Amino acid sequence: MDKVLIENFFSNVEWFNNFFSDIGEIFNTIKKKVKKEFGLEKELQYYQKSMYQPSIPNYYCLLMGEKYSIQVFVNLTKELIENHPYFVNEPSIIVVKHNHPRYDWVEDYGLKVLTSQNIEELVFEENIFKGKIGFKNTEETLPFSAFQVSLEHFKKGVNLEEIIEDCVIKKIKEIEDSETK
């Protein structure tokens, strides 16, 4: 194998490992702040896995909840949100808050919001979009709110605690305030 190709390969693997380590740090900070501010103690980190061949996942997510749920996704592919009417198709964190205690049901709730599947009554205001998730074979719907934060905010050297407070926690508080009005 060509020496340059070998170095590029190992450099790319190192970059991805560092990237996922950074995502882990972001999630741990969000988790700590969400537990403190909103009292959601149950949590799970999840990524999609292929059973047939190794691949980089389409998303990585932090799932938290009890009486309601907060699902935090890192969008890692163009295809995941390419058909969404409001999200900018870029590497980003997307936060979905919904009123069901099953925080760990990724495909039934958060992924439907990201991929615009069975979404009703969609409204976009102040960089937060709200709507209802519909379900097959039932009239039941589930209210949700969601917002997006570009990974650009999480550059090396920034104060991670401040960025998460400003870009994530304050938005979740805005959602909660609007729900109580």
Q: Residue 131: beta bridge partners?
A: 144
DSSP of 54-77: ----SEEEEEEESSSEEEEEEE-S
pLDDT for 94: 94
In the 8-state DSSP scheme, what is residue 166? I
User: In this structure, are residues 124 and 84 in contact, taking their beta carbons and an 8 Å threshold?
Assistant: no
Task: Report the C-alpha gap between 53 and 125 in whole angstroms.
Answer: 41
pLDDT for 104: 82
Task: Report the C-alpha gap between 180 and 174 in whole angstroms.
Answer: 10
- What residue spans define the domains of the chain? 3-180
pTM for the complete prediction?
A: 0.90
pLDDT for 181: 64
Q: Which residue has the tokens 């599947």?
A: 117
Task: Report the C-alpha gap between 147 and 95 in whole angstroms.
Answer: 5
The one-digit pLDDT tens for each residue of the chain (181 residues) are 899 999 999 999 999 999 999 999 999 999 999 999 999 989 998 887 778 888 888 889 999 998 899 999 998 888 888 878 788 888 899 999 998 888 888 888 888 888 888 888 888 888 899 988 888 777 788 889 999 999 999 988 889 999 999 999 999 999 988 776 6
pLDDT for 173: 93
**CB within 8 A of 42, min separation 6: which ones?**
64, 65, 66, 103
